[in-house]
Chains A and B, each alone.
Chain A
Amino acid sequence: MAEASVSLNKVSVQYGTNAALRDVSVEFPKGAVGLLGPNGAGKSTMLKALLGFVPPRAGRLEVLGLNVAERPLEVRAKLGYMPENDGHIPGMNAVTFVAYCGQLAGLPKADAMQRAHEVLYYVGLGEARYRNVEEYSTGMKQRIKLAQALVHDPELLFLDEPTNGMDPKGRDEMLELIRDLAHNKGVDLILSSHLLPDVEFTCDYVVVLDKGAIATAGSIDQLKGPTGRVFEVRVKGDKDRFIAALSGAGLECHETDEDVMRVFVPGPAGAPGDDQRRICDQAARVGVQVRHLRTSVPTLEDVFARAIGEQ
């Protein structure tokens, strides 16, 4: 793996009696890394622990080679953090707010103001930069959170659910910005999200968290790699029996939002048509009709579903 921007070594974080992270050891390489997991998996806790907001009960956290417990200020000077919740300094317009954040991060006043104008244009708030932040729409608030995280030109960005509450157009624009930052502007970032398409679009590497533990980690291409084939299947009949039959035959199956199931056939490929025959045999065995059967491309969703064991 390439040089790590962030590393956790046997890190445990506890909120009262609830374990938010359990003995987590993982390295985030430089570049764009997705931190995936269902709600409550511990993604935000991990970012907050890396920022020094939440002290770990055990373990060691390092950001850009610096120990978070020993050098929190130096760590935060190199970081930009876009929080999940709305956050702003009351009573300020956008450009004053972003410039103020720049000054807090150590930029001289004049430079902070110049950078504030620049990053506000970059995130698409150039025309709205003299409006009070409290009057902003949800999408604009997401953009200004990105602007305040970028103003001091951090080496590493933490983005916590950056597309939350955005309309489809705004979401696409935000993802384009994140992709541009990571792939064209040389800013390393960790994108925490429960939205698989967001991570798939912007990141090259993914860490999947579930119930406070690492479920899987690796480059997206590698995780989606050809260790099996994926088929889209739609059936008429007792779906649950069909899924049970597939599982019994060693095939993984998970349902999507539509009525199409995604069936993963592990292992090396056999003769053409063998996989389809195996699926149809199971359907015939439990008496369901196969209405649709098509080869598909493995997506991050498959990786995610396999990693956290959803059926």
Chain B
Amino acid sequence: MSPIHDQSYRHYEGERRPLGRAWTVIAATGMRSLLARKWFLAVLLLAWIMFIVRTVHIYVVTMYPTANQMLPIDARMFMQFVEQQSMFVFFVTVFCGAGLIANDRRANALQIYLSKPLLRMEYIGGKLAILVSFLLFVTLVPALLLLMLQVMFAGNLDFIKANLYVIPAIVLACLMRVTVASCAMLALSSLSKSTRYVAILYTGIIFFTEAMFGVLAVVTGSTRVAWVSISANLENITDVLFRQPHRYDAPVTVSILVLLGLLAVSISVLERRVRGVEIVS
């Protein structure tokens, strides 16, 4: 007689993962869910267009060294590439990040997540990992690949040897952009239940601080007030990392402090907003 499958409730006797790894489940599921959207894939692919353009640039200059005078391959070129990718950092942050916590808040999912054996830090870490991974995919990965292509096309390590600081500069400049964008967006996402509102808020903050800097620069006739703009602060620090002349008069230490302050505020907001129960005073 063949056994009949019991569709009633059965106890589970299999293995269980050690505690503390739930963030990997959140990150993997979140990434899969985003990659299943065609428009998001399109944004990711678009973000690699500049990489293709720069690859052609490096190839042409390597094959025809005279072109190096017009389109030099130097630290500045890599800095420009990282800054050009900032536009895609913005788009990926808005498309991928706005709903990360806001959607969970809208669906009351936080109480489901936090009733499982995971800490609030794990939840935030999992969500952060989704955004950070995609942002690194459009910044650090193509920038380092470009450097590798330069070595491959040139067939030697002369450029790397002469500009050894470019590698840490690329890594730090990308990590700085990714960290600031991810933390700020995640904090904003925890403030609302509406993805659209979060996206508008983030866009508003980026453009408002930029516009404010523009107005203040005209009024004061100086760029010492560049610290009011998030983008200008990133550029100010990037100049130092790539050993380029400063674009702004604002001290770099002030830019670093402003960005650290922004990170501290973001972490504080996340700490307050990501809770299993919402207490309304």
Which residues of A are in contact with B by a Cβ distance under 8 Å?
15-16, 48, 51-54, 72-74, 76-77, 79, 81, 83, 85-91, 100-101, 103-108, 111, 115, 118-119, 121-122, 126, 134, 148-150, 152-153, 180-181, 185-187
Contacts and interface: CB of A to CB of B under 8 A. Distances in A.
A204 to B, nearest CB: 19
B112 A181 contact: no
Given A76-B115, A87-B112, A51 B22 contact: no
A291 to B, nearest CB: 49
Contacts of A88: 107-109, 112
Nearest to B119: A73
Interface stretch (B9-17, B161-169, B172-180, B252-260): B9-17
B168 to A, nearest CB: 37
The DSSP consensus for interface residues of chain B is loop
Given A48-B277, A51-B114, 17 more contacts: A15-B281, A73-B117, A81-B115, A83-B108, A88-B112, A89-B112, A90-B107, A103-B22, A104-B25, A104-B26, A104-B117, A105-B116, A106-B22, A106-B117, A108-B15, A118-B7, A185-B8
B42 interface: no
Interface in B110-133: 111-119
B279 A15 contact: yes
A85 B277 contact: no
A87 B19 contact: no
Interface in B92-120: 99, 103-104, 106-109, 111-119
A118 B106 CA distance: 28
Contacts of B29: 100, 103
B23 to A, nearest CB: 10
B14 A108 contact: yes
The interface size bin for chain B is: 35 or more
A126 to B, nearest CB: 8
A77 B12 CA distance: 13
Contacts of A74: 19, 117
Contact of A104 (B11, B118, B277, B281): B118
Nearest to B7: A121
B275 interface: yes
A76 B116 contact: yes
Given A87-B108, A185-B9, A77 B281 contact: no
A107 B112 contact: no
B33 interface: yes
B115 A85 contact: no
B276 interface: yes
A87 B109 contact: yes
B108 A86 contact: yes
Contact of A53 (B17, B114, B117): B114
B117 A105 contact: yes
A88 B105 CA distance: 10
A76 B116 CA distance: 6
Most B Cβ at <10 Å: residue of A74, A91, A134, A148: A91
A83 B20 CA distance: 23
User: Which A-B residue pairs are the 4 nearest by beta carbons?
Assistant: A53-B276, A153-B12, A81-B115, A87-B108
A36 B99 CA distance: 38
Contacts of B279: 15-16, 54
Contacts of A134: 107
A53 B275 contact: yes
21 contacts: A16-B281, A48-B277, A53-B114, A53-B115, A73-B118, A79-B115, A81-B111, A85-B111, A86-B108, A87-B112, A88-B109, A89-B109, A100-B25, A101-B116, A106-B22, A106-B117, A108-B14, A111-B14, A118-B7, A152-B16, A185-B9
A218 to B, nearest CB: 29
Contacts of B25: 100, 103-104
A130 to B, nearest CB: 16
Contacts of A101: 112, 116
A107 B16 contact: yes
A185 B11 CA distance: 8
Nearest to B281: A16
Contacts of B14: 107-108, 111
A207 B245 CA distance: 73
Contacts of A51: 114-115, 276
A150 B279 CA distance: 27
Given A16-B279, A115-B12, A104 B111 contact: no
A89 B107 contact: yes
